[in-house]
Structure 1
Amino acid sequence: MVLNDILERKRKEVENLKRLMPLSKICELAAKDKEPRRSLKASLSKNKQLHFICELKQSSPSEGTIRENFEPKSLAQEFEAAGAISISVLTEQN
């Protein structure tokens, strides 16, 4: 039951994070953020050609380590050079 284990672990993690920073504080910080938003939908709508969304992922709960020498910055640059329209980054610690 890998999925159930992931869900239980994530529930506990979220509860701990809520104690560290309440939602109201997160909303306050988000409101102050002036970074321009990028739109995946807009990027995909630019033309009718085939688009690639590449994924950066060092490991997975079911497969374990996928890539030993994981260098996300250089991989992202390779994806961009190969024409990736977007990059999905797995940020889950477990």
Structure 2
Amino acid sequence: MAAQTDTSASLAAASSGITPETLSQKLQATLDATHVAIEDMSGGCGQAFNAIIVSPAFEGKGLLARHRLVNSALKTEIAAIHAWTPKCLTPEQWEKEKQKMGEM
């Protein structure tokens, strides 16, 4: 049964065409993102993604407004997947985040 489910999930992902790469490309083009890192959390079936998105378009916007920008840019893709978790940062916030990670 699990093999059949895995096969079905793989076919669904392939037919939807949603991959970390396609999501990344669309965000870079739509939001002028300077850094996009997307991780497929679904084991390759393309149904759950975590993302770090860095864009100057987020400057001066709160968390909800940033998420709305991203969700608007990926409206079609988000409708076709199960879970989407974006982390939206300005370039300045991203630099601070990278420094924190370097200290660990």
Is this a same-fold pair by TM over 0.5? no
Q: Given the two structures, how large is their TM-score scaled by the length of structure 2?
A: 0.25
Considering Cα pairs closer than 8 Å and 6+ residues apart, tell me whether 1 or 2 has the greater RCO: 1
Which structure is higher in helix share?
A: 2
Find the structure with the greater CA-based Rg. Answer: 1
TM-score, length of structure 1 as denominator length: 0.26
